[in-house]
Structure 1
Amino acid sequence: MKQTSAAVLLSLSAISLAHAQSAGQWMVNAGWMHMAPQDSSQPLTVNALGHTSTMEGTGASVADTDTFALTATYFVTDHIAIETILGVPPTLHLNGTGTLASLGELGNARSYSPALLAQYHFGEPSARLRPYVGAGVSYVWFNSVQLSAPLSSGQFLFSPATGTLLEGPTSASLSKSFAPIVNAGLTYNIDSHWSVGVSLSYVWLSSRATLTTHSAVGTVTTTAKLKIDPVTSFVSIGYRF
């Protein structure tokens, strides 16, 4: 009888461990991601007619945004995991501040930012609740850049000194960059496969905006560095296999 009971207990233990967050397992999470930029920007620098000048008081900020995201996590050991983050590229909306505040939205762009992180998961693999911390890097680029009318026409370059001389059709680009990430989260295991999770990440992200205006007196180049640094929260449902 004792031998039978011991065998049953060993079998149950083996089943429990087989479905734990342990070495060799994958976990896929899908959910909603909210980005809250902690942003700042430098004034616009204008290069025209062989001279460089700064448009003092100009600035821009990035609005909060939401998107659908996916993560795939592989457990290298019972505690160390590698996670990749993908999802639907969010649209970032850039608004004028300072002397540009009256222009409202300056433009928008799609942001692509796949990321790779290394994580440490605390607690036993079979625990219901497992907190974790992680760090990694994202590669960020932008496309589908659209400018509002005051920027696409070069109207923002009007000044008492030059009048409308520097205005003209304008296009924009945003620089690519690698962005370090740190994050922390919590996973609650509902059963052997399903779980829910929450996480919070901070990303050190900067980009240089370049506006190219084709004016009557030649090409005018306007640049500004924008620090975005979003705090990103992620609420998700996970499946482990």
Structure 2
Amino acid sequence: MNKNLPRAWIAVAILGALGAGFAQAQEAQGTQGNWLLRARAVRLDTANKSDPIPSLAIPSDAITVNNKTIPELDITYFFTPNIAAELVLTVPQKHTVTVQQSALGGPVDIGTFKHLPPTLMLQYHFMPDAKIRPYAGVGLNYTRISSVNLFVPTVGRLDLDHNSWGLAAGGGVDIELTKNWFLNFDVKKVQIRTDLTQFGQKLSTVKVDPWLFGAGVGYRF
């Protein structure tokens, strides 16, 4: 008797079970679909941590980026009723950079920049068939920094690194309003960090690292 035959039957049984499980997951999602689009208003609350710049008499955490409310769109795809991937998008956001204390006094606005921070999350949805559906997730953020216009009197122009990679984590809840419409509340913590430079020399690392508090609506199809 072929010794590999029992292993083959086991492999077939496992594949069959996985296939059946995936088919059941697809059938369970069939009533509402695998896609979920959400639109949110999001409050961006920055951490504002930074290294000191002794030569300019700037202490730790004195370089700040303003808080603001931004629009957000996310696209979520459900692989199974519990597991989904979420892509979080917005439009480039303009921010003001302020030095709270320095040799020039303070606070002093030193200019602006724009950032575009798409984030990809892997989520687990705890109760996918309930009216109230909590979820949690982790992922990766990429932030593109552009349109940097920073200037300090008597010092000159400054620049920021244009690329930031960081971790993201968060969670939220979808509340079913109708068969396809949901009310959504969401919170995330995202790592966004960049170096403040002049003539290619690093002056300080600025950790924006915002909390994102969002509320909006979703449509599943």
User: Could you say which TM-score interval applies, normalised by the shorter chain?
Assistant: 0.7 to 0.9
Answer whether contact 1:19 1:126 (CA < 8 A) is retained.
Answer: no
Aligned with residue 161 of structure 2, among 174, 177, 182:
174
Answer whether contact 1:95 1:101 (CA < 8 A) is retained.
Answer: no
Q: Does 1:86 align with 2:116?
A: no
Q: Does 1:136 align with 2:113?
A: no
Q: Hey, what's the Cα distance between the residues in 2 that align with 1:101 and 1:76? A: 55
Work out the percentage of aligned pairs sharing the same amino acid: 26
Q: Which residue of 1 aligns with 2:31?
A: 19
Q: Hey, what's the Cα distance between the residues in 2 that align with 1:74 and 1:17? A: 11
Q: Hey, what's the Cα distance between the residues in 1 that align with 2:173 and 2:81? A: 16
Deviations for 1:138-160, whole angstroms, at most 9, x for unmatched residues?
Answer: 11120011225xx2xx42x3xxx
Answer whether contact 2:65 2:98 (CA < 8 A) is retained.
Answer: yes
Q: Which residue of 2 aligns with 1:234?
A: 214
What's the TM-score, normalizing by structure 1? 0.73
Deviations for 1:14-69, whole angstroms, at most 9, x for unmatched residues?
Answer: x996434xxx6100001211110111111237xxxxxxxx4343431111012111
**RMSD, aligned CA:** 2.3
Structure 1 segment 143-154 matched on structure 2, within 5 A: 143-148=146-151, 151=152, 154=153
Relative to structure 1, the CA distance from residue 222 to residue 204 in structure 2 (aligned partners, 3 Å threshold; closer, same or farther) is: closer
Q: Which residue of 2 aligns with 1:51?
A: none
1:234 Cα deviation after fit: 1.3
Answer whether contact 1:118 1:134 (CA < 8 A) is retained.
Answer: yes
Q: Does 1:104 align with 2:91?
A: no
Relative to structure 1, the CA distance from residue 41 to residue 171 in structure 2 (aligned partners, 3 Å threshold; closer, same or farther) is: closer
SS at match of 1:102: coil
Aligned residues: 192
Relative to structure 1, the CA distance from residue 38 to residue 176 in structure 2 (aligned partners, 3 Å threshold; closer, same or farther) is: same
Which has the higher Rg, Structure 1 or Structure 2?
Answer: 1
Deviations for 1:57-83, whole angstroms, at most 9, x for unmatched residues?
Answer: 343111101211100000011100000
Relative to structure 1, the CA distance from residue 72 to residue 101 in structure 2 (aligned partners, 3 Å threshold; closer, same or farther) is: farther
- Structure 1: where are the runs of 5+ without partners? 1-14, 46-53, 158-167, 213-219
What's the TM-score, normalizing by structure 2? 0.79
Q: Which residue of 1 aligns with 2:183?
A: 196
Q: Hey, what's the Cα distance between the residues in 2 that align with 1:79 and 1:128? A: 15
- Structure 2: where are the runs of 5+ without partners? 1-26
Relative to structure 1, the CA distance from residue 98 to residue 27 in structure 2 (aligned partners, 3 Å threshold; closer, same or farther) is: same
SS at match of 2:106: helix
1:174 Cα deviation after fit: 2.6
1:171 Cα deviation after fit: 4.8
Answer whether contact 2:160 2:194 (CA < 8 A) is retained.
Answer: no
